[in-house]
Chains A and B, each alone.
Chain A
């Protein structure tokens, strides 16, 4: 049984870490970008961002004043049990979100869409979002918090099979150009592309591709992995860098996730995880161990399974 107090305390730690510390994989990616950048203004911006990561860490203060909209991804091993059950888990994550908003402090970004009511704690109707995944074995839970910005850089389009890969590339370029100008997307970013699913799942896949996969990871389908490389290079060939200034670093990495869709369609979404790619991950074990890591490791073979039963696949691999 995983103690609920440990869930709350770990969640508060994660909220702080996500706001203050740039994940190592993105940090390395941005350093490479800064080294290769030759646009005068774009270079200045990238160096300022690298300085800003140091300042945030030294001062224990959020990297960016817009601390995004905190949300949670929870992964449970099949045997995991949380003290008080799943309702207690959700209350713990909401409590940690509210308390960390005050203690870090974070910006209380969450308001009612119509009445603009702000509880000053990033908690409200449907906020923070809590989404779940499961793994076939294990008695641990993974807590992943992501504080993504919310206004620009994301778009959705219903494409069709006849649009094909060229249509996918076109909509990708459209999204980067539309939101890259003036740096609205806060690039260079981890671009997540969702292909397939239904409309909403296409958005979910793309969002998760940007926030739950690390820089340098590749889709296990070799042809999709090749497309990820091509689209990364394509984004960086626009000639646009940080803040929309002339430059060659728009995309730190491009991650693609797919899901089966209606036979007639090819829904697509594009998401940009920004210069303050706020994510933090920890695994909690029933014996009280807490292991922090950078990689959410969300997209396991189980999450991408194609068959009815998982056991069948495992048996086949033996």
Chain B
């Protein structure tokens, strides 16, 4: 069965988000901004003023740093864009969501269902995963314009806050819904049924490691 394809605004209504099912394919229209550890640390821990009106301008936080350059005349060239793994940002996301009203967290690999239930669901937010990873050139085709880059001198190009106008940027996959269900955990559970057969007759390694788990249904994130 082919997945459904849906166009979605980066300032989505609650109804539009409620329509989405795990595994739907989404294409985005509107402004998105990149924010990862550099932006979170600067904005949340050092209390810098966020240089955008959030969420009215954009409710879409992309865990990304693009392959891009700033030209001598101040213009931008942005080629490929792909996401970085999101689970590392769980430390900052609850406060970030409360402060910015983000409804779409876009990244690589999703978060745990515990994260979804504890702060995505109360904020009416969902998670979109990039595809692949990563379809950098396809996502690059969805860039209508690079509107601005903020904090690049302080944070460097890879950690700066890029503001991008998108026109049918995608594909993305719906990895969590408004009830807090997690696409990746659903898939893990199906695959876990095979693990016992896979390891049949196999003995633990002679030398153990501290903190080691032999339960392969667990995740390392």
Contact = CB atoms under 8 A, between A and B. Distances in A.
Contacts, number: 200
A167 to B, nearest CB: 6
A242 B200 CA distance: 24
A277 to B, nearest CB: 13
B198 A118 contact: no
Interface stretch (A62-70, A128-136, A199-207, A291-299): A62-70
A116 to B, nearest CB: 8
B124 interface: no
Given A62-B67, A184-B85, A163 B206 contact: yes
A243 interface: yes
A55 B205 contact: no
Contact of A65 (B25, B80, B110, B188): B80
A244 B187 contact: yes
Interface in B1-55: 1-3, 23, 25, 38
A62 B79 contact: yes
A40 B2 contact: yes
A87 interface: no
- How many interface residues does chain B have, given as a range? 35 or more
Contacts of A166: 201-203
B138 A118 contact: no
A45 interface: yes
A98 interface: no
A159 B139 CA distance: 42
Interface stretch (A88-96, A105-113, A221-229): A105-113
Contacts of B139: 65
Nearest to A166: B202
Interface string A46-58: 0011011101100
Interface in A96-149: 102, 104-109, 111, 116-118, 120
A315 interface: no
A1 interface: no
B81 interface: yes
Interface in B130-179: 131-141, 156-159, 171, 173
Contacts of A311: none
Nearest to B65: A107
A174 interface: yes
Given A65-B80, A67-B80, A120-B157, A174 B216 contact: yes
Interface residues of A, number: 67
A136 B184 CA distance: 51
A182 B175 CA distance: 10
Given A48-B135, A160-B207, A166-B202, A105 B77 contact: yes
B103 to A, nearest CB: 22
Contact of B132 (A48, A62, A158, A240): A48
A190 to B, nearest CB: 16
Most A CB contacts (10 A, CB to CB) among B67, B184, B219 go to B67
Given A151-B85, A167-B203, A178-B220, A48 B171 contact: yes
A55 B137 contact: yes
A40 B183 CA distance: 13
Interface of A: 19, 40-41, 44-45, 48-49, 51-53, 55-56, 59, 61-67, 102, 104-109, 111, 116-118, 120, 151-152, 157-160, 162-163, 166-167, 169-171, 173-174, 177-179, 181-184, 186, 237-240, 242-246, 274-276
Given A52-B132, A105-B79, A177-B216, 5 more contacts: A49-B135, A64-B132, A184-B221, A246-B190, A274-B133
18 contacts: A41-B23, A48-B135, A62-B67, A64-B82, A64-B136, A65-B67, A65-B82, A108-B158, A120-B156, A157-B209, A173-B199, A179-B220, A182-B109, A186-B134, A238-B191, A242-B132, A244-B184, A246-B187
* 6 nearest A-B pairs in the assembled complex, by CB-CB distance: A118-B156, A65-B82, A61-B79, A56-B137, A182-B109, A62-B80
